[in-house]
Amino acid sequence: MTVKTVGLDLAKDVFQVYGISATGRRVFNTKIKRATLLDFFEALPPCVVGLEACGSAHHWGRQLSRLGHDVRLMPAAYVKPYVKRGNTDAADAEAICEAMRRPTMRFVELKSENQQAILALHRTRDLVVRQRTQLANMIRGLLREFCHVIPTGIEAVIAFAKRHLEGDRPEMPDLANGILGTVCYQFIGVHERIEGYSKMIEQHAMLDANARRLMRMPGVEPISASAILATIGDAKQFRTGRDFAAWLGLTPLNKSSGGKEKLGRITKKGDRYIRKLLIVGMTSRALMGKKHPERIDIWSAKILAEKPFRLATVAMANKAARIIWAMLTKREDYRQPVA
């Protein structure tokens, strides 16, 4: 009996493989060690292999694709409803096989090694940014205990930390000043690492034609352009720009029933990192538009005037996502809207 569809449940060392024929009959459901996994699939005729989009899934997807198999990755949340009973590897592999055969299933695009390498740089930078925020809050908290207040903004903390390390210390006990100096030293080191990671991302973005094209759009910086391309590539896995915006969680949550349409807040599904970058970029653009109305397009100026500020920036990010999809799929440059 020939195997046509295989569900592969990934793990650290022992993988579960579930195979069925063209009629849906089970052919095998077995465990395989990591060392023999590729040998097992090399012996199989070309078939459709389904995996959950989790850690190492893109690596194994590329390996199996080189062997001639049609690899399809699915979000784990979409596979879960097909688990019949229990939480076993065998049940998960069977659920993957079942979910993959659904005609309405949504699949994840395989990432290249270069895309994953750039995303590793982004994740590392994002981690260090959060560490810098923690250290900045620690510095503010220590100072406030002795009634010293730093102005709002990360730049004020950077300036204070540099002054403290140069010897300009506030009136505090020597022990507290010593602890504060240690935190300031760590804070400056983390800040310099962030600048180094940012320069690396910018250099990679300038080498990519699509990234340079996206950076011509107002509100899209090198970090945003690099993250978008490393995550979605040419964006052709999305049918429309709205699909891309919905994948980012920038579309309203639909709670319609009984013929009554009710739209709520944005869904906040999908890639949280890109959503944050787009909203931050559009917030910067909106602040610039308030100071210099002549530099912003008519649609953005109108929505900023009619809607609350945060709602307007999210709407601008939603529209930006649709424009980005059109620029990537059609390979066209950004065109400033005319009045």
pLDDT digit string (tens) for the chain, length 339 residues: 689 999 999 999 999 999 999 888 999 999 999 999 999 999 999 999 999 998 899 999 999 999 999 999 999 999 999 998 888 999 999 999 999 999 999 999 999 999 999 999 999 999 999 999 999 999 999 999 999 999 999 999 999 999 999 999 999 999 999 999 999 999 999 999 999 999 999 999 999 999 999 999 999 999 999 999 999 999 999 999 999 999 999 998 888 777 787 888 888 888 899 999 999 999 999 999 888 888 888 889 899 999 999 999 999 999 999 999 999 999 999 987 765
Alpha-carbon distance of 214 to 337, in angstroms, equals 16
Cβ-in-10-Å burial (0-12, 13-18, 19+) of 288 comes to: middle
Q: How many residues does the chain have?
A: 339
Alpha-carbon distance of 52 to 55, in angstroms, equals 9
**Are residues 180 and 155 part of one domain?**
yes
**Are residues 254 and 187 part of one domain?**
no
Residue 255: per-residue pLDDT: 80
What pTM was estimated for this model as a whole?
0.90
Quick one: tokens of 273?
Answer: 């990192």
Alpha-carbon distance of 8 to 15, in angstroms, equals 7
Helix (H/G/I), strand (E/B), else coil: 274? helix
Residue type, 107: F
Alpha-carbon distance of 316 to 281, in angstroms, equals 10
Domain around 196: 113-206
Domain count, the chain: 3
Q: Among 100, 132, 159, which residue terminates a domain?
A: 100
Q: What are phi and psi of 19, to 5 degrees?
A: -120, 140
**Are residues 150 and 92 part of one domain?**
no
Quick one: tokens of 113?
Answer: 């090694």
Q: Among 100, 130, 157, which residue terminates a domain?
A: 100
**Are residues 315 and 259 part of one domain?**
yes
Q: What are phi and psi of 260, to 5 degrees?
A: -105, 120
Say if 68 falls within a structural domain: yes
| Degrees to nearest 5, angle at CA 121 with 60 and 113 | 30
Helix (H/G/I), strand (E/B), else coil: 298? helix
Say if 220 falls within a structural domain: no
Say if 213 falls within a structural domain: no
Residue 338: per-residue pLDDT: 64
